[in-house]
Structure 1
Amino acid sequence: MKTSAARDTWVSYGRNSVGSGPTRTFFWDWYQRAAHGLELLGDVTNRAVVELGSGAGKQAAALARAQAPARVTAVDSSSAQHGRARELHADLTKLEMVHADAAAYLQQHPGAFNVCYSVFGAIDFTDPHTLLPAISTALAPDGLLVFSTLGHFHTGHPAETDARPTNIPVHQPDGTKGTLTRWVLNIPVWTRLLEEAGFETPETLTVNDPGTDGRPPIATNIFRARRSN
């Protein structure tokens, strides 16, 4: 479901996260500073790539500038983020910004993509029982899914040991308090969900950041999974 401007939780977030100038560095980790980058996507030359929950399009733009994909499709359900992305990256002809619900869009494009990725994006905020099968549908045979997600809650509490979401408190555009549904799951749970959705057993990588300047330590889990043929 796409969001309306009146209740778009991502308005303030997007405004605060958009920097000036083009982004040429691709990060997977929470604090956007670890060494791992585009190499985790493999060779995307002449490949169709889709990002889910692309926000202001920084990662998708970095990919479009640094590599030679056939196209990069950046999907986001937030009207505010979609608008910012279009303004920031209008010069990139191989980058397509799509304002849509990720699962619905993927279901409408079976076999259309070679690579799918998400950086704390739609995979964090969409029921995996719905989204992961949709990703499998949209990937070509042997297609690759790569995504990064929280290894634990910001409070330090461990990730869920079952496939259940948590309501995260957020501030709405009008200043009131609200919640976002976020899926913070441990590695065995994500592995099971991926296999049930038609993926091979994933490769996993954990990036532990100690945090600085009053920011808490955060672990990022990165998954790479091939669609089963």
Structure 2
Amino acid sequence: MTETATAWDTYAQQRPERRATNARGETTWFNWTQYEDHGPGAELLAAGAGARVLDLGCGKGGNAAHLATLGIQAVGVDVSYEQLRVARTRWGRTPGLELIQADAVRFLQGAGDMFDAVYSVYGAVWFTDPATLLPAVRARLRSGGRLVFSQRPPVEGCYGCQASYIPRGADQDPLIVKRWDYEPHAWRQMLGEYGFADVRTEVIPAPAGPRTVGTLLVQVQA
């Protein structure tokens, strides 16, 4: 097992599972932000029934499972065995949902199929070198297909490859994973360089209350 997979297995054990229902009483739903019942939904993918959609860093599978209930062929990829174990326990019998343990770039480079949309919610697009990931995504997107991803906005002055720390026990050093933080204009420039068009970026404000950190949302077309 790689150090990265170990780190995300540890993270999975610390994070609570998605609630049984959301505020509207739905058993599946799509969430782009880090806040419950907040922000836009699956409509950003512009993918209808029968479309083939890829979730890079699917985690415990809630977003991909929701797409499958809409008649979409949803493929969720994650490097963490533990994340996928939880996903398969809860969503494994959902028709149209496929869950695969793999590194995002290796999966894309080895995939024979094309996708109508690719997305990442605080997932692999944040935690993979864009110089490697973006061309791999572009090669697997059908013409006109969409790449949509969300992540935390960068801390001012801290751009490029950064370190994220995943705590362990009191007597253990934290595990470290790399993430790539850029301002919206930098994402627009990079995505254009890798052949994407109609790049749109925005920061979705946090919901009302004491929380202040918004969500960076990026939408592009192949």
* Same fold flag (TM > 0.5): yes
Matched, 1:37 2:32: no
Matches within 5 A, 1:82-101: 82-101=84-103
Instruction: Give the structure-2-normalised TM-score.
Output: 0.87
**Post-superposition offset of 1:109:** 2.0
1:222 maps to: 217
Q: Determine helix, strand or coil for the equivalent of 1:84.
A: helix
What is the aligned residue count?
Answer: 215
* Residues 110 and 139, structure 1, Cα contact 8 Å, conserved in 2: no
**Post-superposition offset of 1:176:** 2.8
2:9 maps to: 11
For the residues of structure 2 that align with 1:18 and 1:171, how far apart are their CA atoms?
18
* Unmatched 5+ stretches in structure 1: none
- Alignment partner of 1:168 out of 164, 171, 174: 164
Instruction: Pick closer, same or farther for the CA change 1:140–1:191 going to 2, 3 Å.
Output: same
Matches within 5 A, 1:136-215: 136-153=138-155, 157=156, 160=159, 164-172=160-168, 175-209=172-206, 212=209
For the residues of structure 2 that align with 1:159 and 1:118, how far apart are their CA atoms?
21
* Residues 151 and 158, structure 1, Cα contact 8 Å, conserved in 2: no
**Post-superposition offset of 1:204:** 2.0
Q: 1:173-221: CA deviations, max 9, x gaps?
A: 78431222111211011111111111013122320116746xx411211
* Residues 114 and 141, structure 2, Cα contact 8 Å, conserved in 1: yes
What amino acid does structure 1 have at the position aligned with 2:42?
A: L
Instruction: Pick closer, same or farther for the CA change 1:47–1:202 going to 2, 3 Å.
Output: same
Q: Determine helix, strand or coil for the equivalent of 1:122.
A: coil
For the residues of structure 1 that align with 2:135 and 2:205, how far apart are their CA atoms?
29
* Unmatched 5+ stretches in structure 2: 22-26
- Alignment partner of 2:64 out of 40, 51, 60: 60
* Residues 103 and 134, structure 1, Cα contact 8 Å, conserved in 2: yes
For the residues of structure 2 that align with 1:193 and 1:111, how far apart are their CA atoms?
25
**Post-superposition offset of 1:8:** 1.2
2:137 maps to: 135
Q: CA RMSD in A?
A: 2.3
**Post-superposition offset of 1:29:** 1.2
**Post-superposition offset of 1:4:** 6.9
1:79 maps to: 81
* Residues 30 and 220, structure 1, Cα contact 8 Å, conserved in 2: yes
For the residues of structure 2 that align with 1:27 and 1:210, how far apart are their CA atoms?
13
Percent identity for Structure 1 against Structure 2? 30
**Post-superposition offset of 1:20:** 5.4
* Residues 49 and 116, structure 1, Cα contact 8 Å, conserved in 2: yes
1:46 maps to: 50
What amino acid does structure 1 have at the position aligned with 2:12?
A: G
Instruction: Pick closer, same or farther for the CA change 1:158–1:151 going to 2, 3 Å.
Output: farther
**Post-superposition offset of 1:172:** 3.8
Q: Determine helix, strand or coil for the equivalent of 2:148.
A: strand
